[in-house]
Amino acid sequence: TIMGTLIGDALGLGCHWYYDLKAMRADYGDWISDYTDQRPDRTDDFSLIAKHRHEFGLRAGDVSQTGSLIVMLVDSVADCGGYDEDDYTTRFDAFLETLDGSEMRADVGHSVAGLSGGFTDRAERHLWKNRKLGIPWGEAGSLTDTSEAAQRAIVFAALHGEDYETMA
């Protein structure tokens, strides 16, 4: 499940945020069956993200920032032998220190601890702001409706299998 999530993230990296299927097909053809590069020459509403990711150095087969955050959680779980909130939130705080609260950083070449993606979703921007305000981890989360938490939850599902209470 974890590998499938990361493979899916990498497969979607190049063609992510196309909401006009005609434009996506014009850029990538009728069927995408392999990893693709960003199209920095896109002209749709999300062209700035594609250009930014391209300048950031993301290429076919790389994961987005979302995928990198999943890897960060997997690394924490592996290093600690299970979920350790202090370890994970310390790692996440280090990641948040690399952000400036915006969707896309001006210093596109910057990456920390292998984290990539260059585009920060709304949930992480809210978390960044709340942590900057000194709000503790247990209260700092975002109420935004992205799939970020659900994607990281697969790590807990893999870790705890059929122990649903622990997993939750």
Residue numbers in the chain where pLDDT is lower than 50: 106, 108-116
pLDDT tens column, 47-61: 888 888 888 788 999
Q: What angle do CA 45, 46, 48 make, to 5 degrees?
A: 110
pLDDT for 27 equals 92
Q: How many whole angstroms from its chain centre is CA 47?
A: 18
pLDDT for 64 equals 87
pLDDT for 113 equals 39
Q: What is the DSSP letter of 104?
A: B
